[in-house]
Amino acid sequence: MGSNSYNTQREIDLIELELSLEKDLDILFETGFNQYGRALCWKKHPGFPYRTQCVINLQGTILVQANSYLNKYDRAEYYYKEKQLTLVKLSELKEDLSYKLEGSAICEDIDPFNQGIARIKIVVPFPDHVPSPKSDVVYGTSEYNYINFNGDIIFSENFADAANYSDGLFPVRSFKDRECYYLRIDKTSLLHRPQPVVISSMYGLFIDSNYHLINSFDKQLTNKCTTITYTDNHQIALVEYGPYTYDKKCCFIFPNGQKVPYLDIKAEYEKSHKDGIRRDSAFSNGIISIVIEGYGIKHINLEGQLLSKVHFSISDLLSYHSSVDLHKFSQGFAVVKTPKGFNYINQRGELLLKEFKNFAGPFSSGLALVKNEQGDYYFIDRRGKKRFNISIPDVYRSIVLLGRVQVTPIENDQIKFEQVSIFDLDGNFMCETTSSLSNLDDQFSMFLKEDYLDWWGNKVQYHRGVRQ
């Protein structure tokens, strides 16, 4: 698991292990195994009538199981193997930091530690009195900085925005020019982000002034390029060489310099009569899913081999409201369109399961929504077994989040946001809401109707985000 190379076969083996553990332990995987050999999953709790979140290792051992879902500190400690402070110590540290900050600024939140560094959120609360119009203080705004494990603040100035520290880089947005940078641990060298949005630095792909692709360690990965296109999660880049579209040589490249050739790109350009691979091309489960403008979707493995001759067009994607991520692999499977309907292919390109004539959605937390010939919607698991039905005539989209399944109906082309249904992972109906399921804080989820409901479905009252 500690290898720095990307390998399709290893990803195939991990998915097959997940499927075996799902069957043997009656669990549902939320994530795949990470570089530490750990995954988040949902398992029935012996003390409660529902599944709760837990962390499992490659041997099938449950390392920790929550009463609901893991808070962000437990996730960091058990899933990412990052040492964390206790909640009591964190509370004390926030008070100490607030005492050190200038004026009335307070440390509102401390993120989990990553490689010994944690991001902190700093705010200046609104005063009880009406502030002077001549005051230079901006109340209610958020600023960010970082601390080490001893509670020392890393930078003398705060930032307008920041993402988690990783691999020696701090992704920040400056107050001075509102630009995004990766600031190094030595505080002296700045790398300008070509994208306007601050994202995690774990992928570390940059373009230097000579249009070379470099990684976060200043290693030059390519010669001068004509085009560099990031996939949707910025984990891999498509690099193109050559002055003309039809003469371009292309490859996909990872931050470690590993390259995946895409040899038949010229033919696909000629078929499409367009000049671009779309930015929503994706990499997941060891497979690169390529969206070619005007042609369709193709999948290749990390040896550059075409995965399957079964594809479907962008129009097939866009004809379904809920198909935002249909083009890419999710939990080891990708949806394809066949002459008989919809189906799934695995990482070997093999067609699986039976055909679903009307619709098949992507897998999330081990579940996927499908629609049969009779027009009935139901959820299946990754072995194709029906898990539960839903009595909704037509579905706009379904989302699985924090162990809850959210289904939004559509009727006469009108999306019924006021009738969103919430189920648990075994199909037990919980409530009907008027808005999306969201995190209210790290301990409760919010279902909004006439009342607030917590993760268990109990009524609670909130005042300014505080549970009463």
pTM score of the predicted model: 0.83
Cα 185 to Cα 75, 86, 188: the distances in Å are 25, 26, 8
User: In this predicted structure, what is the pLDDT of residue 275?
Assistant: 44
The answer, yes or no, to whether residue 167 has pLDDT greater than 90, is no
User: In this predicted structure, what is the pLDDT of residue 381?
Assistant: 93
Q: Of 117, 108, 99, give the one whose Cα is nearest residue 172.
A: 117
The answer, yes or no, to whether residue 195 has pLDDT greater than 50, is no
| Residue 158 and residue 143 in contact, taking contact as beta carbons nearer than 8 Å | yes
Average pLDDT over residues 339-365: 83
- Rounded to the nearest 10°, the torsion over CA 398, 345, 32, 296 is -70
Window from 38-47, 240-249, 365-374 with minimum mean pLDDT:
240-249
Task: Kindly state the tokens that stand for 5.
Answer: 């190379």
Cα 456 to Cα 16, 53, 70: the distances in Å are 32, 13, 14
pLDDT bucket at 230, cuts 50 / 70 / 90: low
The answer, yes or no, to whether residue 8 has pLDDT greater than 60, is yes
| Residue 165 and residue 146 in contact, taking contact as beta carbons nearer than 8 Å | yes
> CA 23, 26, 31: angle at the middle one, nearest 5?
85
The three-state secondary structure class of 274 is coil
User: In this predicted structure, what is the pLDDT of residue 118?
Assistant: 95
> Is 57 buried (19+), middle (13-18) or exposed (0-12) by CB count in 10 A?
middle
pLDDT tens track for 254-309: 777 787 776 554 444 444 434 455 555 678 888 888 766 555 677 888 887 877 65
The answer, yes or no, to whether residue 61 has pLDDT greater than 80, is yes
The answer, yes or no, to whether residue 150 has pLDDT greater than 80, is yes
Q: How far, in whole angstroms, is CA 163 from its chain's centroid?
A: 14
Residue 302 exposure: Cα atoms within 13 Å on the Cβ side: 18
Considering the chain, what is the average pLDDT of its residues? 76
Cα 60 to Cα 38, 69, 76, 439: the distances in Å are 10, 19, 19, 29
Window from 84-93, 205-214, 313-322, 325-334 with minimum mean pLDDT:
313-322
| Residue 133 and residue 139 in contact, taking contact as beta carbons nearer than 8 Å | no
Contacts of 393 (CB under 8 A, 6+ apart): 375, 409, 411
The answer, yes or no, to whether residue 203 has pLDDT greater than 60, is no
The answer, yes or no, to whether residue 199 has pLDDT greater than 80, is no
The three-state secondary structure class of 316 is helix
pLDDT tens track for 365-410: 999 999 888 888 999 999 989 999 998 888 888 888 889 898 888 8
Edge-to-edge strand ranges of the sheet holding 287-292 = 282-284, 287-292, 296-301
Report domain extents, the chain: 8-79, 87-192
